[in-house]
Amino acid sequence: MQAPVRGDGSEIKIVDWEGSRSEVQADLLRAAVRLAGPARVSIWSATLAESARELLREAGFRPVGPQMATTIYKKSLLVRPVGEAMLNEDWSLAGCRLLDLSNWDLRELYSQ
């Protein structure tokens, strides 16, 4: 969990969430929400497994609308080939498709 040093404590981010089983993840999520108290708790879920997104829904988490998301998240990653000829190809590196979001390990923890 992460809170801004100079913040008012109204928002807490879950920046990394791992568990060996779904039950463990659910327990960790309940503990995080309990510890946050009245603060708003957020997590970036784009690369989470469907089972983890289901746990979030069950805990009352809801997706942020597209307009709000663009005003909150400023950091980005651009993947583009240098050569124009590659624009129509399936971009890959060492057999890993670069445009498939599931091939990336993107966590808010890494962006701070």
pLDDT value of residue 25:
93
pLDDT value of residue 67:
52
CA distance 64 to 40: 13
Is the separation of the CB atoms in 53 and 64 below 8 Å?
no
Q: Residue 108 CB: number of other CB atoms within 10 A?
A: 17
Tell how strand 11-14 and strand 40-43 pair up.
parallel
Q: Is the pTM of this model over 0.85?
A: no
CA distance 13 to 9: 11
Q: Give SS3 for 11.
A: strand
- Tens digits of per-residue pLDDT, 49-67? 899 999 999 999 988 765 5
pLDDT value of residue 74:
56
Domain boundaries, the chain: 11-111
CA distance 28 to 42: 14
Burial of 42 (0-12, 13-18, 19+ CB in 10 A): middle
